[in-house]
Amino acid sequence: MLKVRTKDIIEEFKLELISGEEGISRPITTSDLSRPGLEMAGFFTYYPKERIQILGMTELSFFERLTPEEKVHRMEQLCTDVTPAIIISRDLDVPQELIEASENTNVPVLRSPLKTTRLASRLTNFLESKLAPTTAIHGVLVDVYGVGVLITGKSGVGKSETALELVKRGHRLVADDCVEIRQEDGDTLIGNAPELIRHLLEIRGLGIIDVMTLFGAGAVRNYKRISLVINLELWNPKKQYDRLGLEEEKMKILDTYLTKLTIPVRPGRNLAVIIEVAAMNFRLKQMGFNAAEQFTSKLADVIEDHHDD
């Protein structure tokens, strides 16, 4: 799945295209960048040629001290058939040797007014978010008291209706029906709505409602970190539901495990209130306070006391 090409970073960072225009559709496959200092000195044994190369003041002032033959040879080695781009920072002058080598191999040479470290950190952040693993899940994502709650369950169980009730109670809708999820920093899941259905809720009998128009900008969020999964299922009298909340179910999305609660749906149960309490309880647990465990140990103490009588 191709996610980023060189032309995407040219647009995003308004980079000046100096040469090698034919290569602007090259894929960028890693968010790692390279500052080829050792390579400038002639050491290409471990050259990470598939990365974007950034040449700053240090590299270019060293380059100036090389002999004419070395200059040509180094730049030829720098430009390979998989190098997505070579970026010159600080609007520095681009060596003629680099322009010629880049035209021969179609490696785009770009220029930015930014300082090298600033450019590198911005580029890394941009590429990491674009290259992060992604998936999509059927469900509703709501921000409840600052906790990203992903509500899942079969069609018709009342996910969107519950989200509407939560929005009415002052919480914020992120996505209805389809939640796009990307994994960042190893184990952080960020959810958002597909562009087409952003801020919309589909309610049976009412049709599609625009939450932002009805409830204002404070009722929506464009994206939110997912912390908790609440699965709604129709009440099954044969099933034993966890009443104390001691057993922690987990759900795996991409490579991350999330806490999952299963809430049985019956007529007359106010799911929005239950989800609010679940979110608050989750926050308390994150802060190291576990009501269920405290309750259970108190119960055990009471039972002990009765035995002693």
Which segments are annotated as binding site?
153-160, 202
Element (H, E) at 80: none
What six digits make up the tokens of 214? Answer: 């009805």
Binding site for ATP, residues? 153-160
- CA of 23: how far to CAs of 51, 152, 166, 259, in Å? 14, 44, 50, 45
Catalytic residue positions, numbered: 138, 159, 177, 243
Q: What phi and psi, each to the nearest 5 degrees, are found at residue 89?
A: -95, 175
DSSP 2: -
| C-alpha to C-alpha distance for 203 and 16, rounded to whole angstroms | 48
What six digits make up the tokens of 236? Answer: 């099954």
Binding site for Mg(2+), residues? 160, 202
Element (H, E) at 233: strand 228-234
DSSP 260: E
